[in-house]
Amino acid sequence: MRTRGDRGCRLLHVRAGTSLWEKWGRPKARHCLETIAAAPQLRTPDETESFLDCRPLGELASMWSALQRVSRRDQAGSIWVIKLYFDHLPHRRPQAALDLVLEVLRSETDKPTVMQLNDKFLLALLYTHGDEVIARVEHEAKYNERLRWLLGGVQFGDGEPLTRRIAEIADIEAWHADHLAQRTPREPLDCAKMSLAELARAWVEQYSRSDRDQDDNLFAIMVFERDLREEDPDRMIDLILEILSIETNPVLLSVLVAGPLEDVISPRTIDRIEREAHANKRFHDLLGGVWYYRASDELKTRLDALVGPVR
């Protein structure tokens, strides 16, 4: 499966609307997101960095926290660009990234939001610049219980040089208890017992959620997709068509393209793909977002005939 950025670049370019900001109840977070919306379209990394590098630390922390609550279907345009800024910050400005971690720990009270620091941010910081920041991390952890808890979710391989130093200061037990609680769904999905319509609605619901709100039901959907693709690809295509019949959001459709649709196309399914593309214009249009440069020459030729070699 390709990355979210690849999907968005290939299939769509959407700028988030102002209606998104009305969803937030926290005034400070809403103000930060309104600041993003009011800014000129950020077209390059340099423009984004110039816009955000000079923002006060507290505002950046509130902005980061607010972004964790944005549903996937709203992660487009300026919102997506700002998310990439924060993803790149640990690589580009390690000390500023650590400042942000500490500020979020200090100011954010919502535990599932704070836990997102461990999804990419802190792990990326320690993996790429661990030697530069580890002494400061150790110093801060002496006086910061929440930092010790957060470090409990940082996992390196046994051979990594920072593994022992992090383990000595991390509250691994507390983190694992909270992580288990956060990942355990209230109502686990039993995909094998669901109808096609139920599966499509579940797919849309799970993939629409923000990273903060995801749990192991998303993993259950992903495993079921894999099993269908390998064992019953025609039913996988049925599910794609059912999702397409109920969903129009460009971000979610880009996920549908770069995951289930792209993965199910093969010599075994190309006849069915061709029939559906001729019968269903939306399915034909969806195929335009598929990357198939690794396919066999015969498969490329047939897909080219459907969507054209230049898209």
Using the predicted structure, report yes or no on whether residue 17 has a pLDDT greater than 70: no
At residue 267, the pLDDT reads: 95
Look-up: residue for tokens 């209230």?
Answer: 186
At residue 4, the pLDDT reads: 42
At residue 101, the pLDDT reads: 98
At residue 30, the pLDDT reads: 58
pLDDT digits (tens, 9 = 90+) for 83-111: 999 999 999 999 999 999 999 999 999 99
Per-residue pLDDT, averaged over 221-245, amounts to 97
pLDDT digits (tens, 9 = 90+) for 35-82: 665 666 666 778 889 989 999 999 999 999 999 999 999 888 888 888
At residue 293, the pLDDT reads: 86
Output 9 or 266, whichever has higher pLDDT.
266
Do 94 and 133 touch, CB atoms closer than 8 A? yes
Whole-number Å distance between alpha carbons of 259 and 191: 18
Whole-number Å distance between alpha carbons of 19 and 217: 28
Using the predicted structure, report yes or no on whether residue 276 has a pLDDT greater than 50: yes
At residue 35, the pLDDT reads: 62
pTM above 0.85, yes or no: no
pLDDT digits (tens, 9 = 90+) for 101-158: 999 999 999 999 999 999 889 999 999 999 999 999 999 999 999 999 999 999 887 7
